[in-house]
């Protein structure tokens, strides 16, 4: 039973438009969330995080929104660039425990 | 500062064999975590080592084991390999115990079991 779900295996977006990647979780004890980006043949790299005491965190073109009542978070990339094409993983942690990762969403940004 | 390195990068084994993977963390990092990545499953947490002690363990059979040395380098061992063990094995290091300390991932070891 997956505690962290990313129901879209892939997403294609035109360059310059907004990319929205979604993540749902089932464990209400999760209190810290991360997004990682992964290019082929490389390890994942940290993108942005959010604590459950906040509902939004922004870093440049990347914004993460957290809706605790819906157990849903999303990553917005505006504007999308071809270099953003990668697999994006959502990860969640409960009270300092190790992360539970989602299966990932492959984002393709088309020029 | 050098990143996380993993050796070997690629490995082909047959069922029943055993394998040892190595991970060298970023200098000064004391925590090393191991993950298994398979298509459609994302990253599955295997275990975390901190100062040579296993701190956390994921839901994997006892065939999967690991250790950490005094210089923080870590090894992961899988015995009696099965076809389903074919995966990308990722190692991540952090200064202290995650999750509130950023984890830096290595490029992974691609294991193929025939």
Tokens of B11: 């490995």
Q: B37 preceded by cis ω (within 30°)?
A: no
Helix (H, G, I), strand (E, B) or coil at A99: coil
Q: Which tens digit of pLDDT belongs to each residue from B64-88? A: 999 999 999 999 999 999 999 999 9
pLDDT tens sequence across A70-95: 999 999 999 999 999 999 999 999 98
Chain A residues in contact with B35 (beta carbon < 8 A): 101
**Cβ <8 Å between A98 and B92:** no
Could A98 and B44 be called an inter-chain contact, meaning their C-beta atoms sit closer than 8 Å?
Answer: no
Write out chain A residues lying below 8 Å of B97, CB-based.
Answer: 96
- Who has greater pLDDT, B100 or A20? A20
- Chain B positions touching A99 (Cβ under 8 A) are 43, 45, 98-99, 103
Rounded to whole angstroms, how far apart are CA atoms A15 and A95?
38
Q: Cα separation of A42 and A27, whole Å? A: 29
Distance CA A57, CA B76 (A): 36
Partner residues linked to A22 by β-bridges: A74
Is the pLDDT confidence value at A96 over 80? no
* Chain-chain contact of A104 with B98 (C-beta, under 8 angstroms): no
Going B70 to B75 to B78 to B84, the CA torsion angle's sign is positive
Nearest to A46 by CA among A107, A99, A108: A99
Burial class of residue B41, CB neighbours in 10 A (0-12, 13-18, 19+): middle
């Amino acid at each position: 039973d997956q505690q962290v779900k990313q129901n879209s295996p892939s997403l294609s977006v035109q360059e310059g438009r907004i990319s929205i990647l979604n993540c749902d979780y089932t464990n209400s004890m999760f209190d810290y969330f991360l997004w990682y980006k992964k290019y082929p043949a490389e390890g994942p790299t940290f993108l942005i995080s959010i604590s459950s005491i906040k509902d939004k965190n922004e870093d440049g073109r990347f914004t993460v929104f957290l809706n605790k009542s819906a157990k849903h978070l999303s990553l917005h990339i505006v504007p999308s660039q071809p270099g953003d094409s990668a697999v994006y993983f959502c990860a969640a942690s409960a009270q300092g425990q190790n992360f539970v990762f989602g299966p990932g969403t492959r984002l393709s940004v088309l020029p | 500062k050098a990143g996380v390195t993993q050796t070997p990068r690629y490995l082909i084994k047959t069922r029943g064999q055993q394998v040892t993977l190595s991970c060298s963390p970023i200098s000064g990092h004391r925590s090393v975590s191991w993950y298994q990545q398979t298509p459609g499953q994302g990253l599955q947490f295997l275990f975390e080592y901190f100062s040579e002690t296993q701190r956390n363990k994921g839901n994997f059979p006892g065939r999967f084991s690991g250790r950490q040395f005094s210089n923080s380098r870590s090894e992961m061992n899988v015995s009696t390999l099965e076809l389903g063990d074919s995966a990308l094995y990722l190692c991540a290091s952090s200064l202290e115990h995650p999750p509130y300390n950023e984890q830096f991932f290595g490029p992974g070891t691609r294991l193929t079991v025939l």
